[in-house]
Amino acid sequence: NAGVTQTPKFQVLKTGQSMTLQCAQDMNHNSMYWYRQDPGMGLRLIYYSASEGTTDKGEVPNGYNVSRLNKREFSLRLESAAPSQTSVYFCASSDSGRNNYGYTFGSGTRLTVV
C-alpha cells in the first residue's frame, strides 16, 4: 500500500535509553518531516528534510537527531530519552517544498519514557 510507514507503533523507554524511529515513504516525495503531537499543543515540527541530503531544525529540535538515509527513508533518533519526550511522533512527506499542497502522514509512534 502506498503511503508513509512508521515503525515501531509503540515503545516504552527508560530515562537515558536511546532509540531510533524509522520512517519510509513510497510516493517518491522529495520532502519529509518529523512532528510530535502532545495534548493541547497540536503538531510541532521537530526536524525536516527538504530533499535528499539536507536536514533542518524545526520548532522543537532539542534532544533529537535525524538522518535522511535516502529519498525514501528519514529516521529520528533520541540519544538519551527524557520523560518530556513522551509523545506521539508522526512522520510525513510531501511532493515538493515550494508548492506544498499538503502532507501524507504515517500512523504514528506512541513513545512513553519512564
CA-angle at 46, arms to 42 and 47, nearest 5°: 140
**CB closer to another protein, 19 vs 50:** 50
Strand partners, 23: 6
From residue 8, how far is each of 2, 30, 59 by CA, in Å?
Answer: 18, 23, 24
Interaction site with another protein (CB under 8 A): 4, 33, 35, 40-45, 48, 58-59, 90, 92, 97-108
- Residue whose cell numbers read 517544498: 97
- Of 24 and 92, CB closest to another protein: 92
Kindly state the smallest distance separating residue 45's Cβ from another protein, in Å.
Answer: 7
Our CB check for another protein shows the closer of 59 and 79 to be: 59
